[in-house]
């Protein structure tokens, strides 16, 4: 009967408090043991999931660190191809030099792509960190400065020297402003125009690297094709230089207002 079933359950539950465990009747002991029996605790893969999530959140910083490594490799490869590495450059054949130039360009492209994905992943995975915020602008500057120095090492190019010098001047100035501002508790956030500046720099430098390594890629040496690509590459570089100087002036004004 339903009423009896409810009475028996309540009686059993009360017996846990009325009788000590040693003096509890055997029938009630067996009934209680049956009613309170529990199976093995379910095993959930929470630790494995936590480890996976931790690894995923470390991915943006891994990409940023890899950009530093690839930028260093790119610069050394360009310097070696240009004959600027003692002993190593002397042992290189013409084909090996061309191969180094191609590898340097590929490393530059991969590093430039990571510049987009590390920030996107950090926001997507909610993995924005102070270490990543420090490494990201450093990686950008090392990549840009290393590529410009490598370009100038490959051969004299008057149309590259002046914009490259202006870009390097701006990058070092803004880095100094950030360092001084950080010491006084002043932050200079990255603006939208500064993000576009980085994109323009990478595209323009990539075009200049193709132009400087034209023979290494086996491209046809037709004057019309080379002349047209040269105009496009130099125009992009000067456009990137103009935007770079504008953003540098914006950071300078922001730092001046904050520090005075």
Domain spans of the chain, in order of start: 2-35, 52-259
Distance CA 82, CA 79 (A): 5
pLDDT beyond 90 at 97: yes
Distance CA 50, CA 258 (A): 42
The residue among 131 and 23 whose pLDDT is bigger is 131
Of 43-52, 131-140, 173-182, 248-257, the poorest mean pLDDT is in 43-52
* Model-wide pTM > 0.85: no
Give 41's pLDDT tier (boundaries 50, 70, 90).
Answer: low
pLDDT in tens, 150-177: 999 887 788 899 999 999 999 999 988 8
Distance CA 110, CA 63 (A): 10
Give 134's pLDDT tier (boundaries 50, 70, 90).
Answer: confident
Give 43's pLDDT tier (boundaries 50, 70, 90).
Answer: low
Distance CA 188, CA 146 (A): 24
The burial class, CB within 10 Å (0-12 / 13-18 / 19+), for 176 is exposed
Q: How many residues does the chain have?
A: 260
- 52-259 CATH: 1.20.120
**28 phi, psi to nearest 5 deg:** -70, -35
- Sorted by sequence, the CB contacts under 8 Å of residue 197 that are 6+ apart come out as 240, 243, 244, 247
Cβ–Cβ < 8 Å for 132, 60? yes
Cβ–Cβ < 8 Å for 118, 63? yes
């Amino acid at each position: 009967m339903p009423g009896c079933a409810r009475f028996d359950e309540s009686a059993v539950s009360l017996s846990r408090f009325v009788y000590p465990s040693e003096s509890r009747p055997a029938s009630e002991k067996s009934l209680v043991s049956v009613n309170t029996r529990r199976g093995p605790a379910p095993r959930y893969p929470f630790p494995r999931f936590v480890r996976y999530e931790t690894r995923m959140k470390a991915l943006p910083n891994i990409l940023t660190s890899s950009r530093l490594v690839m930028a260093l490799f790119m610069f050394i490869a360009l310097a070696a191809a240009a004959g600027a590495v003692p002993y190593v450059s002397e042992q290189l054949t013409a084909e090996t030099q061309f191969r180094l130039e191609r590898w340097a360009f590929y490393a530059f492209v991969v590093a430039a792509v990571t510049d987009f994905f590390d920030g996107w992943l950090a926001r997507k995975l909610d993995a924005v960190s102070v270490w990543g915020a420090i490494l990201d602008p450093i990686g950008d500057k090392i990549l840009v400065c290393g590529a410009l120095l490598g370009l100038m090492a490959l051969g004299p190019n008057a149309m590259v020297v002046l914009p490259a010098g202006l870009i390097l001047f701006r990058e070092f100035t803004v880095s100094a402003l950030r360092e001084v501002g950080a010491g006084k508790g002043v932050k200079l956030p990255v603006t939208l125009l500064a993000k576009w500046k980085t994109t323009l720099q990478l595209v323009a430098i990539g075009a200049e690297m193709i132009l400087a390594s034209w023979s290494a890629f086996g491209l046809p040496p037709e004057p019309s094709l080379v002349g047209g690509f040269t105009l496009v590459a130099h125009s992009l570089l000067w456009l990137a230089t103009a935007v770079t100087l504008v953003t540098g002036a914006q950071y300078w004004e922001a730092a001046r207002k904050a520090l005075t």
